[in-house]
Structure 1
Amino acid sequence: VRAAFEHLRSRVVKGVGRGVESPALAAVLVGNRPDAELYMRRKREACETTGVNFQLVRMSETSSTSDIAQAIRNLRRQTHISGVFCQLPLPPQVDSRMVTTSVGVAKDVDGMHPLHMGLLAQAFANDGMLHPRMFAMHTWDHSPPVAVVSTAAPVSHYDDDDDDDDDDGCVSVPSAMLPCAPRAAVGLLMAHGHSVVGRACCVLGDGSTAGLPLALLLRALGASSVSLVSRAALAPIVHPDSVPEED
């Protein structure tokens, strides 16, 4: 993780040195859940470490769907902001799908827009269409920090072989924004020499922001099978005291 931070910071420094504006991440936090507060602190610290500007917009627990969606639209329209995300889960009165859609396609760093999730699911359905080299740290210089994957990008961006086999570096997902946390998890695995191709994988937790997209991503990268364990099934393991004793 430290090496990844240093690598990303060097990219930001080089970009600023060339006159490129520093990237900026905007986050919307609804309510004051302790776990969400912790996540935001870590996100801010990560941004400070890598030289990324961080902007946090706090909203009341009683905020409506339209209020949150409008706040997100206001953020995404600001040209200096590179990416926007809204911390999930949201209060029960809020339509989470409408909120994630309001982030828009271009600045959806969480990869939660229906278009991006649909393209990832399509890659899953078509049996391993993403190339592992996209996730290697040395290729990050060739892709935007928001991890856009496009068939329009030259194959050489993802192919470091000396041969002329263009198919080896093919990326078949059109203009998909990959979910950040799952992409980072896969990148760390590969940085330590672990390939998922042909492997049976198990993902603990089926949340919409991490577990589910990670399962789709692993399968799209060539895992032979992926078992997705629901949060309900994990509850007795994570909180054993909550399991009633048998008679």
Structure 2
Amino acid sequence: MNARTFSLLGMLGLCMGLHAQSELPDPFRKGRFFVSTAASWKTQDYDLKDTKTWNLEPVVGYFVRDRLAVGLGGVIGLHAFDYVQDNTAVGTTSFKDEDTNWGALGPMVRGHIGGPRISAFGQIGAYFGGIDQTSVNNQTTNGSVVTKVRDGGFQLYDFGAGLAYYYKGTVGIEFMGHYYLGYAQTTTDITYDTGEQVHYDKSKNNADGGGASIGLVVLFGLAKGQSAAAPAN
């Protein structure tokens, strides 16, 4: 080889070395922690009724191995339903106000692929807690006001997948799709405006559905796994 060839190879090696040093380390290394909070909401406004739903899902996790984390997650939510209809012919108003609140806590598992800036991930969580619902309406035959209270145990199973963008491997924004399975065991107490009360023992209620959320995530801690891809021999 001549001197020019050696010079070209030297410059190529220097460029490769600088590129390797400029690469960000894998943010999902063993020994790191992450904290994330995802939120979802939905509002619907109609002539006679309005509905509002929001959901908050905080998670604290630890990477037990590179790209695989376990942790503790939760869900806090609220659903509000308001209905009002005026009957001008007879001068009456029909209404229903209903508020539902839920909260639960439990284990979660998350796995990542890709990175360090853009990563796809999947997450499974099982949350256990309580739910309560209070509704007031006059939608009875004689127009009397009825108050209904339901409360009891609540379980939510969350199957999610998403895409995240990370800044310097420490702070990121996440977009996530969810499929939920929900189960509740509630008692019901009904009170009429006459003072009459009726109690119903526990009943089971199941529901499932999908949704989407957006959230923030912070990664931190001492890493013990691979900091970057191993150089080729």
What is the TM-score when the length of structure 2 is the normalising length?
Answer: 0.22
Q: RCO greater where, 1 or 2, for CA within 8 Å and sep 6 or more? A: 2
Question: In proportion to residue count, which structure has more strand?
Answer: 2
Question: In proportion to residue count, which structure has more helix?
Answer: 1
What is the TM-score when the length of structure 1 is the normalising length?
Answer: 0.21
